[in-house]
Amino acid sequence: MGRLYADDNFGAWEMEDEDDFEFYEHVQSESVWKTCDACQRRVKLRPDYGTCNRCMEVLERGGDPYG
């Protein structure tokens, strides 16, 4: 079983090999502190993202993270 990591871009990741961890570190190094467009929380997102993973999962399930 791998190690579990979480971030605001992609949610929870279970990493079993070094390539996964290197990609995670790369994503984190590119991420900046922003306010999520939906929930208004301060989150660390990639510069071209506006909505955190938690809110995107709600949208994908047909919910409304804005209200």
Could you write out the three-class secondary structure of the chain? CCEEEEECCCEEEEECCHHHHHHHHHHHHHCEEEECCCCCCEEEECCCCCCCHHHHHHHHCCCCCCC
Q: Does 12 have pLDDT greater than 80?
A: yes
User: For all residues of the chain together, what is the average pLDDT?
Assistant: 91
Q: How far apart are CA 20 and CA 57, in angstroms?
A: 22
- Report which of residues 2 and 43 the model is more confident about: 43
Which pTM value belongs to this model? Answer: 0.81
35-63 tens-digit pLDDT: 999 999 999 999 999 999 999 999 999 99
pLDDT tier, 1 (very low <50, low <70, confident <90, very high otherwise): low
- Report which of residues 48 and 24 the model is more confident about: 48
Question: Where along the chain do its domains lie?
Answer: 3-60
Evaluate whether 9 touches 49 at the Cβ level (below 8 Å). Answer: yes
Report residue 64 as tokens. Answer: 């409304």
